């Protein structure tokens, strides 16, 4: 029997996998590579989530007003600015990942410095949202007492805003090189430090909201400085010293950063809009409460798939940089298939243990029944949320941010939101109609992106990657290629 090698002389997969055994081997190898990146990132994301959760526990002992003010500040103002900066930093997922795959190590440091410049300037433009937080929240119809206190807390957390402009690029820089274990360790250590600071500032020093803001500021800067220290100390081969080349192609970089930000923000704000719509229903308390439980459940799932999203972005961008079109394609297909199976497992888990899971969140029979009525939408949402982040990660890895931004705008805001409004208010289906319409928008976006991935010519994407690297300052220096490829 003829033995067909899985890899050709360039290290790329052969065009055709001859049998099931080879398909299993390729899938297993790709899965190992994917989860070696995804697992530490999931741990880091969980640690970041836990910092907010622990702060909420301490705030609960300060009073309802303080708790509401901080939740409003972090959910609206900080959430908005975090999404903008995270999105702009996501441009590095494309550029650093492709440059690393191509062996242009020096360009990684240049790209990171370029991102610092763009994000620090962006933070300055976002500063008025922090200073004017109270008037903005009042304009959005929030209670004045809560808005005033939230505005004060927001101003106290201004240092955190600028720390994000440092930490986001550094994190993407490390992700592109699969140096993700250090991110997990930094996330875990800063979580412990955050808990200690909250206890010290609130329980010992009795600083109240000032203590909470101080804990957030210190933790965010410790995270940023720890990542920066690792970059400067252990990543010197990637050009960690300052280079004036960081100012080259700054406008082209800004356009890609803005495209990345629009793509990410449109996805993030879309899910926030459903709560705003539900808040105007007749029985708003029950509607928002049931919806909050559902989104909390899907939020736990999304933390796992956020790690997978970043991992597949790294895998695709690295393989495109290495000029391995078929390896990039296999990575996409394997990740989508795995994610689909995980989504089906989550649906089965909810079907079997849904009542017990709901009971964790509420003792109210009325609220329990309201959530139970949304169970089939929750199942569908769990399935979509297992595939949609993966496709978004592929888009970032390839560099499709601008195109996906237009797709998100059309599917989410021209189709999903209006349909949700019509079903919820005009057809009087309430929260079920609002959520159903918005799920339809997500389903349409996912189908379009799956179709685009299916029709992608990966050889053309490799050529586009090479062109981008040459255009933005990369040199075709084969001596810089990594030994582990």
The arithmetic mean of pLDDT across residues 78-92, rounded, is 89
Answer with the residue of higher pLDDT: 163 or 482.
163
163 in any annotated domain: yes
Same domain for 326 and 222, yes or no, is no
The arithmetic mean of pLDDT across residues 429-443, rounded, is 92
Closest C-alpha to 104, from 483, 485, 471, 469: 469
Same domain for 225 and 311, yes or no, is no
Asked if residues 373 and 432 have their Cβ atoms less than 8 Å apart, the reply is yes
Of the three residues 248, 275, 309, the one that is the final residue of a domain is 248
Same domain for 186 and 208, yes or no, is yes
pLDDT of residue 473: 58
Residue 246 has pLDDT above 80, yes or no: no
Between CA 115 and CA 99 the distance in angstroms is: 15
Cross-strand pairs, 7: 13
Between CA 485 and CA 475 the distance in angstroms is: 18
Question: Residues of the chain with pLDDT > 70: what percent?
Answer: 92
Write the secondary structure of 391-438 as one string of H (helix), E (strand) and C (coil). Answer: HHHHHHHHCCHHHHHHHHHHHHHHHHHHHHHHHHHHCCCHHHHHHHHH
The arithmetic mean of pLDDT across residues 460-481, rounded, is 69
200 in any annotated domain: yes
Same domain for 255 and 205, yes or no, is no
pLDDT digits (tens, 9 = 90+) for 258-290: 988 999 888 888 877 776 687 677 776 777 778
Answer with the residue of higher pLDDT: 457 or 485.
457
pLDDT grade, residue 99 (50/70/90)? Answer: very high
Same domain for 56 and 190, yes or no, is yes
Domain that holds residue 325: 249-474
Residue 4 has pLDDT above 50, yes or no: no
pLDDT digits (tens, 9 = 90+) for 193-217: 999 999 999 999 999 999 999 999 9
7 in any annotated domain: no
Closest C-alpha to 175, from 344, 271, 310, 2: 310
Closest C-alpha to 377, from 423, 328, 408, 321: 423
- Torsion sign across C-alpha atoms 142, 145, 151, 156: negative
- 3-class secondary structure, 7: strand
The arithmetic mean of pLDDT across residues 230-235, rounded, is 91
Same domain for 194 and 308, yes or no, is no
Same domain for 95 and 144, yes or no, is yes
Residue 182 has pLDDT above 50, yes or no: yes
Of the three residues 248, 265, 286, the one that is the final residue of a domain is 248
**Burial state string for 253-263 with b = 16 or more CB within 10 A and e = fewer than 16:** bbebbbbbbbb
DSSP state of 143: -
Phi-psi region of 8 (alpha: psi -120 to 50; beta: other; left: phi over 0): beta
Distance from chain centroid for Cα 118: 19
Same domain for 232 and 304, yes or no, is no
Residue 14 has pLDDT above 50, yes or no: no
pLDDT of residue 85: 93
Between CA 244 and CA 231 the distance in angstroms is: 18
pLDDT grade, residue 16 (50/70/90)? Answer: low
Of the three residues 218, 248, 278, the one that is the final residue of a domain is 248
pLDDT digits (tens, 9 = 90+) for 440-455: 999 999 999 999 999 9
Distance between terminal CA atoms of the chain?
A: 29
Q: Of the given ranges (55-64, 101-110, 310-319, 474-483), which has the lowest mean pLDDT? A: 474-483
Residue 478 has pLDDT above 60, yes or no: no
396 in any annotated domain: yes
270 in any annotated domain: yes
pLDDT of residue 23: 82
Residue 378 has pLDDT above 70, yes or no: yes
pLDDT digits (tens, 9 = 90+) for 291-345: 878 888 888 888 889 999 999 999 999 999 999 998 999 999 999 999 999 999 9
pLDDT digits (tens, 9 = 90+) for 109-126: 989 999 999 999 999 999
DSSP string, 210-230: HHHHHHHHHHHHHHHHHHHHH
Answer with the residue of higher pLDDT: 485 or 227.
227
Same domain for 90 and 208, yes or no, is yes
DSSP state of 410: I
Same domain for 261 and 370, yes or no, is yes
Same domain for 320 and 366, yes or no, is yes
Same domain for 405 and 269, yes or no, is yes
pLDDT of residue 13: 56
pLDDT digits (tens, 9 = 90+) for 67-81: 888 888 988 888 889
Asked if residues 390 and 309 have their Cβ atoms less than 8 Å apart, the reply is yes
pLDDT grade, residue 10 (50/70/90)? Answer: low
How many domains does the chain divide into?
A: 2
Write out the two tokens for 247.
Answer: 């100012």
350 in any annotated domain: yes
């Amino acid at each position: 029997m003829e033995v067909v090698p899985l890899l050709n002389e360039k290290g790329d997969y052969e065009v055709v996998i001859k049998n099931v055994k080879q398909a299993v081997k390729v899938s297993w190898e790709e899965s190992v590579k994917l989860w070696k990146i995804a697992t530490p990132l999931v741990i880091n994301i969980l640690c970041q989530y836990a910092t907010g959760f622990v702060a909420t526990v301490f705030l609960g002992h300060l009073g309802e007003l303080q708790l509401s003010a901080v939740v409003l500040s972090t959910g609206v103002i900080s959430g908005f600015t975090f999404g903008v900066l995270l999105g702009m930093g996501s441009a590095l997922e494309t550029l650093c990942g492709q440059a690393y795959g191509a062996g242009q190590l020096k360009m990684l440091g240049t790209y990171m410095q370029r991102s610092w410049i763009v994000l620090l300037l962006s933070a300055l433009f976002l500063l008025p949202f922090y200073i004017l937080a109270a008037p903005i929240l009042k304009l959005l119809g929030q209670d004045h007492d809560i808005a005033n206190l939230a505005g004060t807390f927001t101003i106290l957390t201004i240092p955190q805003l600028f720390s994000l402009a440092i930490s986001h690029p550094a994190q993407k820089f490390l992700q592109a090189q699969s140096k993700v274990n250090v991110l997990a360790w930094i996330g875990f250590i800063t979580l412990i430090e955050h808990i200690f600071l909250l206890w010290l500032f609130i329980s010992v020093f009795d600083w109240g909201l000032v203590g909470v803001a101080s804990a957030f500021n210190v933790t965010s800067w410790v995270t940023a400085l720890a990542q920066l220290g690792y970059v400067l100390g252990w990543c010197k081969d990637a050009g960690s010293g300052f280079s004036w080349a960081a100012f080259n192609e700054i406008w082209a970089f800004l356009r890609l950063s803005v495209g990345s930000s629009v793509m990410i923000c449109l996805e993030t704000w879309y899910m926030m809009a459903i709560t705003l719509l539900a808040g105007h229903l007749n029985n708003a308390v029950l509607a928002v409460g049931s919806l909050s439980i559902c989104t909390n459940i899907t939020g736990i799932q999304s933390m796992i798939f956020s790690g997978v999203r970043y991992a597949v972005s790294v895998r695709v961008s690295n393989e495109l940089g290495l000029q391995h079109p078929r390896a990039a394609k296999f990575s996409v297909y394997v990740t989508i298939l795995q994610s689909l199976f995980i989504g089906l497992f989550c649906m089965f888990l909810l079907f079997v243990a849904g009542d017990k899971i709901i009971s964790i969140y509420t003792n109210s029979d009325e609220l329990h029944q309201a959530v139970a009525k949304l169970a089939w939408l929750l199942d569908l949402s769990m399935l979509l949320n297992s595939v949609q982040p993966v496709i978004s990660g592929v888009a970032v890895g390839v560099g499709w941010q601008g195109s996906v931004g237009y797709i998100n705008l059309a599917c989410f805001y021209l189709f999903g939101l209006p349909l949700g409004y019509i079903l919820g208010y005009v057809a009087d289906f309430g929260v079920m109609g609002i959520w159903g319409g918005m799920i339809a928008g997500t389903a349409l976006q996912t189908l379009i992106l799956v179709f685009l991935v299916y029709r992608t010519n990966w050889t053309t994407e490799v050529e586009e990657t090479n062109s981008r690297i040459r255009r933005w300052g990369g040199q075709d220096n084969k001596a810089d290629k990594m030994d582990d490829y």
